[in-house]
Amino acid sequence: MSDKFKITTAARLRELLATMERDLGLESLSTNELNVLYVVRLLSENSSDFVAEAAEIRDHTITRHMSQPTLNRTIRSLLDKGYLDTAPNYKAKRYRLGPKAAEA
């Protein structure tokens, strides 16, 4: 597969993703917010109680590039907007999808 074809394929995937985000009402979220939201969803589907631990979010391929302060601000923003909730009954910070994410 040529590099030109790979870039075209990536561009089409990005366009499709942008369309899906708009259709889901997520276009107001920043790139960091979208990335964290997606990671929480991916991690929580592998958990019996549908939660994602903060360390797992930090270490995930999609969010690994984010500094700790940026990640913390992004999680706080998603909590404030209702896209994430803190998971009860845990000592470590764990998060699950909030009611706003369920609407999307």
* Cα 51 → chain centroid: 13
Q: What is the pLDDT along the chain (104 residues), one digit of tens a residue?
A: 778 889 999 999 999 999 999 999 999 999 999 999 999 999 988 776 789 999 999 999 999 999 999 999 999 999 999 999 998 888 779 999 999 998 77
Looking at the structure of the chain, the number of domains it has is 1
- Considering the domain boundaries, does residue 4 fall inside one? no
pLDDT at residue 48, rounded to an integer: 67
SS3 assignment, position 101: helix
- Considering the domain boundaries, does residue 55 fall inside one? yes
- pTM of the predicted structure, to 2 decimals: 0.89
- Considering the domain boundaries, does residue 23 fall inside one? no
- Considering the domain boundaries, does residue 58 fall inside one? yes
Q: How far apart are CA 32 and CA 8, in angstroms?
A: 24
- Considering the domain boundaries, does residue 21 fall inside one? no
- Considering the domain boundaries, does residue 17 fall inside one? no
How far apart, in Å, are the Cα atoms of 52 and each of 10, 20, 67, 85, 93?
28, 23, 18, 11, 9
Q: How far apart are CA 14 and CA 57, in angstroms?
A: 22
Q: Name the helix (H) or strand (E) containing 10.
A: helix 3-23
- Considering the domain boundaries, does residue 36 fall inside one? yes
pLDDT at residue 55, rounded to an integer: 94
CATH of the domain at 70: 1.10.10.10
pLDDT at residue 42, rounded to an integer: 94
- Considering the domain boundaries, does residue 95 fall inside one? yes
Residue 88 lies in domain: 29-103
Q: How far apart are CA 25 and CA 31, in angstroms?
A: 14
